[in-house]
Amino acid sequence: MSNLPIQFEIHPSSGVPIFRQIMDQVRAQVASGRLKPGDLVPSVRQMAVDLQVNMMTVSKAYSRLEAEGLLERDRGTGMRVRGQVEHLGSVTNRQAELRDLVDHVATRGLQLGLTDEQIISVVKTVLKERRS
Amino acid sequence: MNELMIEASGLSRRFGTTDVLTSVDLAIPRGTVVGLLGTNGCGKSTLIKCLLGLLRVSGGTARMFDEDPWDLSGAAKARLGYVPQDVKLYPWMTVTQVISYTAAFYPTWDFALTEHLVQQWDLPRDRRAGPLSPGQIQKLGLILALGHRPELLILDEPVASLDPVARREFLKSLLEVTQDEKHTVLFSTHITSDLERVASHVAILKQGKVELFEDLDTVKDRIKRLRISAIEPLPRSFAVEGALRTEIEGRVALVAATNVSEQMVSDLRARWQAEVTVEDLNLEEIFLELHR
């Protein structure tokens, strides 16, 4: 099953580079299950023409997703979504990705005069609510 | 990829006592689509004309295909396509006649391509060029510039006279025709949204110099606006590295900076016990920040 460029929504005048917008949307579609392992993503040319963006932009997005392990190049047919979830990277990598957000939380927590334990307890509560 | 199609170094151009270009440095590699951005009258057309050899430089050097543009060889001209800001056509010739007339100047002309484009862009073949609309003339100008399949295409304000619908159509066609690694495009504009869509690189011309020339994605990734809200009032001396603009009001500061990194943001958070939000800027906002 080939995926259509029409499912992508690009805002060229956003402050987020177009290639990042494409990357985010491919990731989101994989996460939501709309793109399944083995699915082809639209060809670089098809994406570029339909979204009316530069071809290099699309190929940059795909190459990065390939480097991340989310997509794999299938010689002759194009780029496919990879099978395993290993694309998420190691635990250390995933923690690193979260760090920046937590940094934010820590600053605000300290500004509000909360102790370390009190901040952690808020995080735990949020997680508990999410799981239930 | 690193082969340079255009190179300018210390290029200057004076008109009488007015210095329009003071010292332009620019090196455009093959395969890039470069948007040349600048305010009205900042010298975009002058720069393009100097690069093409339509104007003589007052100082410094310009190179095209590693030749002096003022004395460009026939072989180099065959690799070049140019659409000026005002496309001048012989008004009494029909669309078909204008194309054959231009084709006669080139040893190789791709009639199949020009025929295809005329059809795709819905140009009236037997209508005289004189009464065509600005959009149609602009498209015909592009067809004439593409007919000999140039490697380098230079467009001076290609969409300035077009309405939004025609502009999008034009850009779409331009993308289709030039989409591969062989083609290099340099186009000037003051419409940032068009540039964001099609360009791989942006060059910003300001006060007679190229203030910035970089991959568009990199520009958006590194130039950001920071909203900083500290726990205590910020001192007058508060400064962020690479700041284009800093506004401080009590505990809050607004800073546009050129090299924002995660490290920089966490350092700011730690040092000032501050909440820092990073705002992404689009090209128009970046352009405005650079002109404050």
Residues A100, A60 share a domain: no
pLDDT at B1 over 60: no
What is each CA distance from A82 to A72, A77, A85, A125, B153, in whole angstroms? 6, 14, 8, 35, 39
Beta-carbon count within 10 A of A18 CB: 24
pLDDT at A87 over 60: no
Q: What is the pLDDT of residue A6?
A: 67
Residues in a beta bridge with B274? none
Cα angle: A99, vertex A106, B271; to 5 degrees = 95
Residues A48, A27 share a domain: yes
Residues A51, A31 share a domain: yes
Q: Based on the structure, what is the number of domains in chain A?
A: 2
Candidates B216, B275, B283; nearest CB to A107: B275
d(CA B26, CA B210): 7
**A34: containing domain:** 5-85
Contact B220 A17 (CB under 8 A): yes
Average pLDDT over residues B58-73: 95
Contact B179 A55 (CB under 8 A): yes
Cβ(B70)–Cβ(B63) below 8 Å:
no
pLDDT band per the 50, 70, 90 thresholds, residue A89: low
CATH classification at residue A65:
1.10.10.10
Tens of pLDDT, residues B194-227: 888 888 899 999 999 999 999 999 999 999 999 9
Cβ(B90)–Cβ(B129) below 8 Å:
yes
Residues A96, A40 share a domain: no
Which chain A positions have a beta carbon within 8 Å of B266's beta carbon?
100, 103
Query: Distance, in angstroms, between B141 CA and closest chain A CA?
Result: 21
pLDDT at A1 over 50: no
d(CA A85, CA A94): 13
Query: What b/e readout covers B113-122, taking b as 16+ CB neighbours within 10 angstroms?
Result: ebeebbeebe
Q: Where are the domains of chain B?
A: 4-216, 223-290
Query: Distance, in angstroms, between B277 CA and closest chain A CA?
Result: 9
Arithmetic mean of pLDDT over chain B: 90
Q: What is the pLDDT of residue B190?
A: 83
Average pLDDT over residues B124-138: 90
* Sequence-distant contacts of A105-112: CB under 8 A, at least 24 apart: A107/B269, A107/B273, A107/B274, A107/B275, A107/B276, A108/B275, A110/B273, A111/B231, A111/B273, A111/B275
pLDDT at B40 over 70: yes
Tens of pLDDT, residues A23-60: 999 988 888 788 888 889 999 888 888 888 888 889 99
A53 has a chain B CB within 8 A of its CB: yes
Contact B279 A15 (CB under 8 A): yes
Residues A21, A48 share a domain: yes
**DSSP-H helix ranges across chain B:** 44-52, 74-78, 95-103, 111-120, 134-146, 164-178, 192-198, 216-222, 262-272, 283-290
Q: What is the pLDDT of residue A49?
A: 82
Residues in a beta bridge with B252? B229, B249
Does CATH number 3.30.70 belong to domain B223-290?
yes
Q: What is the pLDDT of residue A88?
A: 58
Residues A81, A17 share a domain: yes
Average pLDDT over residues B63-88: 92
Residues A47, A73 share a domain: yes
Residues A56, A32 share a domain: yes
| Ranges B78-82, B119-123, B155-159, B162-166: which has the least confidence | B162-166
pLDDT band per the 50, 70, 90 thresholds, residue A3: low
Q: What is the pLDDT of residue A85?
A: 54
Global pTM value: 0.80
- CATH node for B4-216: 3.40.50.300
pLDDT at A86 over 80: no
Query: Distance, in angstroms, between B265 CA and closest chain A CA?
Result: 9
